[in-house]
Structure 1
Amino acid sequence: MPIAEDGSYSEENLEMTKAISAWKLFNKNVVSEVNELKNHIDKTLDMRFAADLPVLLFTTKEDQVSEDGKNLETFFKTRLTDSPSSRVVVLGGHHNLHWTRYKEMSKEVNEFIKSSAAE
């Protein structure tokens, strides 16, 4: 369910989200994908974007830091390319940033497209 301030979503919208989530999240295909998650991660560990491909990544502000001082932001920065447009945008919120921070994300995407086109 969306984590948001009270009043952000109507009761009708919250009920619809519950129904859609239950319908979409708990089926055999999703369970199969979750069971394969480690294998999928292992396959992509050494993959990289093309060096000149602009990359825009969004992540949540992460207070948890690993023993070696890394967090989600530092991890995503390792995935960036040499393109001057590439960047990681950190926003406050939960996993579903697109539900609550869509205005900021839209602005960032528009700026990213403009800067990438200028390269």
Structure 2
Amino acid sequence: MKEKFIELLAENGITAEMGMTPVTDVYIMHWTKDNEVRDFWFFETDGAVETRITNFVRWNIDEYIFACVKNEDYENGKYMTGNIKELKDYKNPQGVTEDEAFMSMNFEELLRELK
């Protein structure tokens, strides 16, 4: 699924790669623009976000992109970006839980933020 997302970013002039993590449905998105290189957590779901924050803490990556996508329709998905340390459940042993309602960005808004 994430391959289609990377292809859509490339079509819009954004160079990115995805790396695996030990957490299901959580990837590291390596993004390059000019000479700037950034890493994001990329978590994809078709509804609520639930994942163990302890696995996030272990890595030195603060920014995230949460994607709520149904049937690989990234262009009509909902997105949420920010700093992982600002999530209300940061360091909670039960993990991060966010509702689809928090994901208020559309794909075009995400592209503008990354460009």
TM-score of the aligned structures, taking structure 2 as reference length: 0.29
Instruction: Compare the two structures and name the one with the higher strand fraction.
Output: 2
Instruction: Compare the two structures and name the one with the higher helix fraction.
Output: 1
Larger radius of gyration: 1
TM-score of the aligned structures, taking structure 1 as reference length: 0.28
